[in-house]
Amino acid sequence: MSEVTAIIASPRKNGNGATIVGKMVETLEAAGKKVNVFYLNQLENVKGCQACMGCKKAGKCVRKDDLTPVLESIAESESVILSTPDYFGLACAQYRTLEDRFYGYVGMKDGNFVANIPEGKKVAVVVTSGSGAGADNIEKGIGGVMSGFLKCEIVGSINYKEGPSGPAKDNAEVLAEAAALAGKL
């Protein structure tokens, strides 16, 4: 059985991101994959990267807080779903805190960045917004970190702008897109 880690960074547990990721999880589990789902906003004891550089000796983040099991799950899983809402053209704070801690996954060898996690991990990105003003940049930014620094394979993304489309739960097209994207993981 394959393992997938799904991250929902939105503070809304029943929002568009959770709906889209929920459809992906449902599709993956129906295909026999084990999925670990994390709602970042429910974690209480979380800090961003402290630049302690302990990760450069240990090969992983050495902080021990509520993000530790999330980071371990990402490192150990075959595939990852990363979901964040667009807040003023940026990923939400919950996601940015997690991404800062990805620094523990990055090492250096001969002056070049190397990943401290297995390369080629499949990643799907989900960005949700009301208007979509900055969602494209968020999607590219997340993809750049995951492929550039961590040597992951971005298998696709969903950039859902609620605006005229209405809530994701009522949009059969985006739910079908979510199921199809899950099939690539």
Average pLDDT score, the chain: 92
Q: What is the pTM of this model?
A: 0.94
pLDDT at 169: 95
pLDDT digits (tens, 9 = 90+) for 49-63: 999 999 988 989 999
pLDDT at 158: 94
Distance of CA 115 to the CA centre of its chain: 17
pLDDT at 162: 85
72 close to 21: Cβ distance less than 8 angstroms: no
pLDDT at 30: 97
pLDDT digits (tens, 9 = 90+) for 78-116: 999 999 999 988 899 999 999 999 999 998 788 787 899
CATH number, span 3-182: 3.40.50.360
Q: What 8-state DSSP symbol labels residue 38?
A: E
- The angle formed by the CA atoms of residues 182, 88 and 170, to the nearest 5 degrees, is 40
List the chain domain ranges: 3-182
- Cα 102 to Cα 1, 59, 88: the distances in Å are 26, 11, 22
Q: Could you tell me which residue, 33 or 148, shows the higher pLDDT?
A: 33
pLDDT digits (tens, 9 = 90+) for 15-65: 999 999 999 999 999 999 999 999 999 999 999 999 999 998 898 999 999
**Sequence-distant (≥ 6) Cβ neighbours of residue 21 within 8 angstroms:** 6, 8, 37, 81, 83, 126, 178
